[in-house]
Structures are given as C-alpha cells and as structure tokens.
Structure 1
Amino acid sequence: MELAAQVADSLVAIRFSIQNEVHFPLSDSSVQAQFGANAAFYVTHETHAKGASLVRLVEVLPLRPEWEALDVATGAGHTAFALAPHVRRVLATDLTPEMLAEARQLGTERGISNVDFELARAEELPFNDSRFDLVTCRIAPHHFDSIPAFLERSRAVLRPGGSLVVIDNLVPDGSGGGYVNAFEKLRDPSHAACLSDRQWREALDAAGFELRHREVLGKRMKFGAWASRHDERMQGFLKSLLMAATTEARGLLQPRTVDGELTFGLHEGFYWAEARA
C-alpha cells in the first residue's frame, strides 16, 4: 500500500476512535514486550532522565528524611533516584523485568543504596495498607489499563494524609485528545490513553485525594528521537500524521522545524494530592 493511502486509512481509523471514544485495552505481555525491547533507551532518554518535572518533584514536595516512598512504574529508576537523597527508603516497582534490571544497574553505578526494586503491576500493588508516606508515578499512567485501579491501590497503601504525586502527559478534552492518543498508539503499541487535566482532577477526587498542587509543564519533543524505534518508512508515515493533525490536536502538538529538525509539543500534568482521612 502506498504511504498516502496508509495515511488516509489511518486518519479514518483515528476519526473513528475519536467519534466512538475508543480506549485501547492492553495486556501485560504487550507492555512488557514494548518496554523490554527498549529498556536501555529509557536510561538516557532526555524526557525521562532529565525532564523539568523531575526537578519540580523535589522542589515542590516537602520531602522528609523519615519517609518511606513507593515509585510506581519506575522504568529506569530516574524518579526513585531523585527521591532517594531526601527520604529514608524508596521501593521502585515496574511491570517489566528488563526495566528493573536497567534501574538496578543504574542505581549501582550511582552508588545509591536506599532504593529497592520489585516486580509489580500498578493496578495491583501487592503491599500492606498504610505502608508508605509517598507514592509517585511519572510519565507512565498512559500505559496503564486502569488508572482508577492504580489510584485506588495507591490510596490504600498510603498512610492517612500521605502524598501521591502523579506526572503524566496530558491531552486536550474532546476530539483533539482523541487524535493525539490515536497518534501515540500508532507509534507505541503499549500506549493506552493520556487523560486531560479535567479528567485527572476528577479521577483524583473520586479516588479519595485532595489536590494540593497542580501545574502544567510544556515540553518539545524531537520527532527523530521520538520515532527512532521505527524504520524510515514508518517514520515518514508518523510524520505525515503529525502534519495532518486536526485543528484541535495541532493546538497541543504545534509541529515546527527549527534548524532542520522537526519538533512537536506535549504537556505534562503535575499533580500532588493527599489521601483524605
């Protein structure tokens, strides 16, 4: 099939998913396969390893040296390692064994001794109730099959008044968000759905959390690095979809070329909430 025809067919599929509010259910194996194959990539990936939200996490939270923290979907461990100097201990969990192996190695290389690692699903955190003072999850919930289940378990394992920090990519409400989610899914099969700012605030409230701090951080993504796991043909396909984005989606994506490099925009939502008594 010619590239133009593939783009046209995908635009039809994207419009269908928007109109029907399609959610992309995932199996654990699909997430593990995607992240297992690309585990080393996340060790040095700029957004995960150095993003502004990682700095804001330490700046905003009133971290205490006696705290026990849980970092969910830790990936290469960047969030856990940022917390480690400020708390007593961090337990870092992930669904993918290869990601945990990379995180362990990185922690050893950095001489970090107060971070432990455990295999666990975000929606089924296998820990006693009221165990942790802090739960964090950064740039991961859009891969979860059930964000409400993740929030419910996070609420359960937190001590009364404990803190939850969720940081994740945001999409606009409505058709713009549908387009961005479908576009992301075509690039990354493990993508389930990013929420809008409104949806996150509603989900946190429904799960029994009181919002203490919220901010939206903009970031520019380098298209070449973002699409690098694919061959040249697929990269051209994704580029065509980016440039053909609907008006609503382009308000977020804002593709542009600077010094010969194509970039596009995304937003990260930063939410610090406390468990209601």
Structure 2
Amino acid sequence: MELAAQVADSLVAIRFSIQNEVHFPLSDSSVQAQFGANAAFYVTHETHAKGASLVRLVEVLPLRPEWEALDVATGAGHTAFALAPYVRRVLATDLTPEMLAEARQLGTERGISNVDFELARAEELPFNDSRFDLVTCRIAPHHFDSIPAFLERSRAVLRPGGSLVVIDNLVPDGSGGGYVNAFEKLRDPSHAACLSDRQWREALDAAGFELRHREILGKRMKFGAWASRHDERMQGFLKSLLMAATTEARGLLQPRTVDGELTFGLHEGFYWAEARA
C-alpha cells in the first residue's frame, strides 16, 4: 500500500477512535515487550533524564530527610535518583525487569546507595497500607491500563497527609486529545491514553487527594529523535500524520521546522496532591 493510502486509512482510524472514545487496553506483556526491548534508550533519553519537570520536582516538594518514598514506573530510575539526596530511602518499582536492571546499573555508577528496586505493577502496588510519605510517578501513567486503580493503590500505601506527585503528558479535552492519543499509539504500541488537565484534577479528587500544586510545562520534541526507533518509511508515515493533524490537535502539537529540523509541542502536567485524612 502506498504511503498516502496508509495515511488516509490511519486518519480514518483516528477519527473513528475519537468519535467512539476508544481506549487502547494493554496487556502487561505488551508493555514489558516495548520497554524491555528499548530499556537502554531511556537511560539517556533527554525528556526522561533531564526534563524540566525533574528539576521542578525537587524545587516544589518540601522533601524531608526522614521520608520514605516510592517511585512508581521508575523506568531508568531518573526520578528516584533525583529524590535520593533529600530523603531517607526510595523504593523504585517497575513492571519491566530490563528497565530495573538498567536503573540498578545507573544507580551503582552514580554511587547512590539509598534506592532499592522491586518489580511491581502500578495498579497493584504490593505494599502495606500507610507505609510511604511520598509516592511519585513521572511520564508513565499514559502507559497504565487503569489510572484510577493506580491512584487508589497510591492513596492506600501513603500515610495520612502523605504526598503524591504525578507528572505526565497532557492532551486537550475532546477530539484534539483523541487525535494526539491515537497518533502516539501508532508510534508506541505501549501507549494507552494521556489525560487532559481537567481529567487529572477530577481523578485526583475522586481518589481522595487534595491538590496542593499544579503546573503545566511546555516542551518541544524533536521529531527525528521521537521517531528514531522506526525505519525511514514509518517515520515518513508518522510525519505525514503529524502534518495532517486536526485543528484541535494542532493547537497542542504546533509542528514547525527550525534550522531544518521538524519539532512539535507537548505539555506535561505536574500535580502535587496530599492524601486526605
């Protein structure tokens, strides 16, 4: 099939998913396969390793040296390692063994001794209630099959008044968000769904959290790096979909070429909330 026809067919599929509010259910094995095969990629990935939200995390939170923290879906461990100098211990969890292996190695290389690692599913955190002072999860919930289940377990393992920080990519409400989620899913099969800012605030409230701090951080993505795991043909396919984005989606994506390099925009939501007593 010619590229133009593939793009046209995918646009039809995207519009169908938007109109019918399709959610992309994931199996644990599909997430593990995606991240296991690309584990080393996330050690140096710019957004995960150095993003502005990582800096804001330690600037905004009133971190205390006696705290025990839990970092959910730690990936290569960047959030856990950022917290480590400021708290007593961090337990970093992930669904994918290969990601935990990369994180352990990176922690050893950096001489960090107060971060432990454990295999765990975000929606089924296997820890005693009221154990942690802080739960964090950064640029990962859009891979979860159930964000409400993740928030429910986070609330349970936090001590009364404990803090939850969730940082994740945002989409617009409505059809624009549907397009962006479908576009991301075509690039990354482990993508389930990004929420909108409104949906995150409502989800946190429903799970028993009181919002203390909220930021929306803009970032520009380099298309070449973003699509680098695909061959040239697939990259051309994704580029065509980016440039054909609906008006509602373009308000977020804003594709443009600077010095010969195609970039597009995304937003990260930063939410610090406390567990209601």
Shift of 1:122: 0.1
Shift of 1:169: 0.1
Shift of 1:75: 0.1
1:14-41 alpha-carbon deviations (Å, 9 max, x no partner): 0000000000000000000000000000
SS for the counterpart of 2:39 is coil
Shift of 1:67: 0.1
Q: Distance in 1 between matches of 2:51 and 2:134?
A: 20
SS for the counterpart of 1:214 is strand
Q: Percent identity?
A: 99
Shift of 1:223: 0.2
1:66-105 alpha-carbon deviations (Å, 9 max, x no partner): 0000000000000000000000000000000000000000
Q: Distance in 2 between matches of 1:190 and 1:57?
A: 25
Q: Distance in 2 between matches of 1:56 and 1:106?
A: 22
Shift of 1:138: 0.0
Q: Distance in 1 between matches of 2:63 and 2:220?
A: 29
Q: Distance in 2 between matches of 1:236 and 1:95?
A: 31
Q: Distance in 1 between matches of 2:98 and 2:224?
A: 24
SS for the counterpart of 2:123 is helix
Partner of 1:270: 270
Q: TM-score, normalised by structure 1?
A: 1.00
Shift of 1:246: 0.1
Partner of 1:95: 95
Shift of 1:45: 0.2
Give the 4+ runs in structure 1 shifted more than 3 A: none
Shift of 1:206: 0.1
Shift of 1:202: 0.1
Q: Distance in 2 between matches of 1:134 and 1:5?
A: 49
Partner of 2:36: 36
Partner of 2:74: 74
1:168-199 alpha-carbon deviations (Å, 9 max, x no partner): 00000000000000000000000000000000
Q: Distance in 2 between matches of 1:54 and 1:198?
A: 22
Shift of 1:9: 0.1
For structure 2, the residue ranges without an aligned partner over 5 or more in a row are: none
1:149-185 alpha-carbon deviations (Å, 9 max, x no partner): 0000000000000000000000000000000000000
Please show how residues 184-263 of structure 1 align to structure 2 within 5 Å. 184-263=184-263
Q: Distance in 2 between matches of 1:232 and 1:96?
A: 28
Q: Distance in 1 between matches of 2:158 and 2:242?
A: 40
Q: Does 1:140 align with 2:140?
A: yes
Q: Does 1:160 align with 2:174?
A: no
Q: Give the aligned length.
A: 277
Shift of 1:251: 0.2
Q: Distance in 1 between matches of 2:56 and 2:69?
A: 17
Shift of 1:216: 0.1
Q: Distance in 2 between matches of 1:104 and 1:222?
A: 28
Partner of 1:6: 6
1:49-75 alpha-carbon deviations (Å, 9 max, x no partner): 000000000000000000000000000
SS for the counterpart of 2:212 is strand
Shift of 1:272: 0.1
For structure 1, the residue ranges without an aligned partner over 5 or more in a row are: none
Q: Distance in 2 between matches of 1:42 and 1:147?
A: 22
Over the aligned positions, Cα root-mean-square deviation in angstroms equals 0.2
SS for the counterpart of 1:113 is coil
Shift of 1:4: 0.1
Please show how residues 46-65 of structure 1 align to structure 2 within 5 Å. 46-65=46-65
